[in-house]
Amino acid sequence: MTRTVDRAPFEIDVRSGEVLCGDIWRPGEPAGGTAIVVCHGFKGFKDWGFFPYVSQELARRTGYVTASFNFTGSGIGDELERFTEMEAFATNTIGREMEDLQVVLDRLSAGRVGDVRVPPAGRFGLLGHSRGGATCLLTAAALSRVEALVTWSAIASLERYEERHAPTWEAGEVVTIVNARTGREMPLRRNVLDDLRAHRDRRDLLLAARSLQIPWLVVHGTEDESVPFAEAEELAEAGGEHASLVALEGAGHTFGAGHPFGGTNDMLERVVERSGDFLRRALPAAAP
């Protein structure tokens, strides 16, 4: 396809003192009524590695406006490639991420995201990587306007946070996560635990998967070093006839891509092509 795609940054005030930053990727003469939203995962951000390339390619391949953004608890502030907002990161929750995502969907529905005008959208496709896949799955299960879902390297349970860190949090201590890329120690307060315990059924990923009634593409590498491939199998089994599992033999968590982005590769191209084709089929353009 030869569609050109332009990138327009936006900012949204979502809570007092909290600004959500993102980008709108607009193909030439975008098809109206539909939009795609891309969500990063834990310790990720919209400008990490492949995300700009993926967002641009999805807009180009589908013809739909595509939005990508930083969750307000991502830890990324004005410096778009450095973690400078550690308190926001420390207190982030899945519930907060779902709220952020719904704000973006609302603005796309209204036809204006920050200062960026777009064709109003009434239906959506979501693509989430790693924990972003969990946020997208829970949101898709809750909102009828989400009509297609793609998850890359997604986790199958949020209980991992309770299992690994509950004793530390319950002792009144702060959990520290090391960013493998930068070596920086990143704090996590017990907000994560409190959110899970207060909304346990609404944070159950397999329960959400069983309730899903829309097309869902589950993409996962068989050699994922961060999220075992078995979790993709769990998700796909729970999704039943609505879920299609794509097993990428030998692929890791980020499909051979890193940060800074050194360009695409054969594995990533396979993932992007399958995802773009899936979204185009699952969200066919409305008849003129």
**Is the pTM value of this prediction over 0.85?**
yes
CA–CA dist 284, 53 (Å, integer): 23
CA–CA dist 101, 199 (Å, integer): 18
Mean pLDDT throughout 80-94?
95
Parallel, antiparallel, or unpaired: how do β-strands 116-117 and 112-113 relate? Answer: antiparallel
Higher per-residue pLDDT: 287 or 141: 141
Q: What is the CATH number of domain 5-157+199-282?
A: 3.40.50.1820
Q: Residues 202-253: pLDDT tens digits?
A: 999 999 999 999 999 999 999 999 999 999 999 999 999 999 999 999 999 9
Q: Residues 10-65: pLDDT tens digits?
A: 999 998 879 999 999 999 989 989 999 999 999 999 999 999 999 999 999 999 99
**In the predicted model, what is the mean pLDDT of the chain?**
96
Annotated domain spans of the chain: 5-157+199-282
